[in-house]
Amino acid sequence: MNRPTVEDQLERDPSLSPMERREMLALLGKWVGAAVAGAGVFRAGEALAQQSEAAAGTKRKRRYGMVIDTRRCVGCRACVIACKAENKTPPGVYYTVVFDHVIEPRIDDKPLFMTKPCFHCEHPPCVDVCPVSATFKREQDGIVVVDYDRCIGCRYCMTACPYSARWFDFDENYAPVEENTAYASVPSPEYRQFRRRAKGRSPVGNVRKCHFCLHLQDENGEYNKAEGRWPACAKTCTGHAIHFGDLLDPASDVHRLLRERVAVRLKEELGTEPNVFYLL
């Protein structure tokens, strides 16, 4: 049996009005303009098949990823603030950012917002170029991380990342960090290392990036949404646009959404296979 086309999936989507359906079809070739140049339409059946194939014959237990609903994102940037508060990142370091674009030929001329974290690619170019193996993809869950003790700050990985999802820590600080305040003594929970920010000490001088708040995992490598152990951006999203979970788990929201909705991944032609999907 032939897989349904994207047009077929849009026709069957009960959540779309006829006007919205026409707009979505018109947007497929232009989605987000230059910011997402090279984005490819990713059929849900193909996505789930590839995920199963990637897990087969490996030690991978989970494949954590995100599904972001562009219809629900209102551009409030609560995810950006929540991420900075959770990981205590300095000025100039953002693990997620939000872009907005007015897309033609939308009838209402409303902007389309796009939240962009690290995509935790299946084949991350950043890992291949690191001369000291400071950045690597975790075997058990596919999360791409940075070892601050190994990173030498060469920034090759920043150059290699096609999504501009990495940031360099130039030792900038917010005023409360530089002053003798209670906030200055609070460590960052990143990687469960609880580092206190100090001049000349890691992560100052390191490359930094989103790590899906992996410090909130339990000893079995699992998150728990009900207990609040969930990535800060997804937990705080006011429009419920950011969905997080195990892409290999058929019961997860992310797996279900990829089955039911039309999704794209950015720059598919590069073969990076990002684990962040965008719903149209």
Tens digit of pLDDT for each residue in 31-71?
Answer: 444 334 444 444 544 555 455 555 545 566 899 999 999 98
Judge whether residue 11 has pLDDT over 60.
Answer: no
β-bridge pairing 135-137 and 111-116: unpaired
pLDDT at 3: 42
Q: For residue 1, tell me if it sits in a domain.
A: no
CATH number, residue 19:
3.30.70.20
47-51, 203-207, 220-224, 244-248: least confidently modelled range:
47-51
39-43, 86-90, 246-250: least confidently modelled range:
39-43
How far is 55 from 60, CA to CA, in rounded Å?
Answer: 6
> Please, what is the end-to-end C-alpha distance for the chain in angstroms?
25
Judge whether residue 233 has pLDDT over 50.
Answer: yes
What is the domain count for the chain? 1
| Beta bridge pairs of residue 198 | none
Instruction: Read off the pTM.
Output: 0.80
With vertex at residue 58, the alpha carbon angle to CA 249 and CA 131, rounded to the nearest 5 degrees, is: 110
**Torsion sign, CA atoms 204, 210, 216, 220:** negative
Q: For residue 210, tell me if it sits in a domain.
A: yes
pLDDT at 28: 47
Judge whether residue 175 has pLDDT over 50.
Answer: yes
Q: For residue 162, tell me if it sits in a domain.
A: yes
| Closest by Cα among 47, 33, 170, 184 to 105 | 33
Virtual torsion, Cα 142, 148, 152, 153, nearest 10 deg: 80
In order of 48, 70, 79, 245, 261, the CA distances from 242 in angstroms are 19, 9, 9, 10, 14
**What range defines the domain where residue 244 resides?**
6-279
pLDDT at 1: 42
**Higher pLDDT pick, 151 / 16:** 151
Judge whether residue 208 has pLDDT over 50.
Answer: yes
pLDDT at 133: 96
12-21, 58-67, 162-171, 223-232: least confidently modelled range:
12-21
Q: Write down the mean pLDDT value for the chain.
A: 84
